[in-house]
C-alpha cells in the first residue's frame, strides 16, 4: 500500500498485521480519487471505518483542507497515527476512536464536503450507516460508500446513488447531496 498522488506520492503505508481489516486497494483508491478530483482541493473529509487511514491521508496528499479519520479498533487507530506521521500529515488530520454511530456526537456538529464509508462488507444494515452519516454532509457534498460488488447499494429516502463503479470484488457508490436552492420571489 502506498499514497498514489499529491504531496505524499509514493510514500508507503503500514498495513495491518491482523485479520479482519480490509484496506481499500491502491487501484480502488485511484479510481475513487479520479472521480472525486474536482472536489478534493480545500475539502473537509470524513473517513468512517478508516482502517489504515489510506483514504483520508490520500485526500490530504491531494489538497484536502483537513480530514477526520474515525475507527473503532484501537490497533487500527495506532496504525492510522503511524501512517499519518509517516506521511507528514498528522497536523492536518483528527483521528477519533469511535463507532460510526458515535461520530455525529464526537465531531460536535461538524459537516464535511466528502464523506467516505468503508464498513465491513458483511455488515447487514448499510442503510442505517448511510442514514447516520447523512447529517454530517455539507449541502453540495458527496457521500461515497465502498461495499461488496455482489451487494446492491442501499437506497435512502431522498437519495439514490448517482453512480456506482465496480472494481474487482469491490464497488464504490456515490451519493450526491445537492445544495439547497434559495427560495424564489414569485413577483420578480
Domain spans, the chain: 26-176
CB contact at 8 A, 120 and 100: no
Three cell numbers written together for 137: 454532509
pLDDT at res. 157? 66
pLDDT at res. 172? 94
Q: Check residues 43 and 176 and name the one with the higher pLDDT.
A: 43
Q: pTM for the whole thing?
A: 0.88
Q: Summarize pLDDT for 65-94 with one digit per residue, the tens.
A: 999 999 999 999 999 999 999 999 999 999
Q: At 183, is the pLDDT very low, low, confident or very high (cuts 50, 70, 90)? A: very low
pLDDT at res. 1? 87
- Distance between CA atoms of residues 87 and 22, nearest Å: 20
Is it the case that residue 117 has pLDDT exceeding 70? yes
26-176 CATH choice from 3.20.20.70, 1.20.120.850, 3.90.226.10, 3.40.50.150: 3.40.50.150
Amino acid at each position: 500500500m502506498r499514497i498514489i498522488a499529491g504531496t505524499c506520492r509514493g510514500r508507503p503505508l503500514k498495513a495491518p498485521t491482523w485479520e479482519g481489516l480490509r484496506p481499500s486497494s491502491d487501484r480502488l483508491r485511484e479510481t475513487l480519487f479520479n472521480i472525486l478530483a474536482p472536489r478534493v482541493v480545500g475539502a473537509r473529509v470524513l473517513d468512517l471505518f478508516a482502517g489504515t487511514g489510506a483514504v483520508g491521508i490520500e485526500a490530504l496528499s491531494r489538497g484536502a483542507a483537513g480530514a477526520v479519520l474515525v475507527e473503532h479498533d484501537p490497533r487500527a487507530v495506532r496504525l492510522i497515527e503511524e501512517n499519518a506521521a509517516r506521511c507528514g500529515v498528522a497536523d492536518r488530520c483528527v483521528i477519533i476512536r469511535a463507532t460510526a454511530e458515535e461520530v455525529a456526537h464526537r465531531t460536535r456538529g461538524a459537516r464535511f464536503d466528502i464523506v467516505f464509508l468503508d464498513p465491513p462488507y458483511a455488515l447487514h444494515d448499510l442503510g442505517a450507516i448511510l442514514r447516520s452519516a447523512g447529517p454530517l454532509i455539507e449541502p453540495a457534498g458527496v457521500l461515497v460508500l465502498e461495499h461488496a460488488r455482489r451487494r446492491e447499494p442501499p437506497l435512502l429516502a431522498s437519495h439514490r446513488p448517482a453512480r456506482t463503479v465496480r472494481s474487482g470484488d469491490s464497488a464504490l457508490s456515490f451519493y450526491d447531496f445537492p445544495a439547497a436552492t434559495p427560495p424564489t420571489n414569485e413577483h420578480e
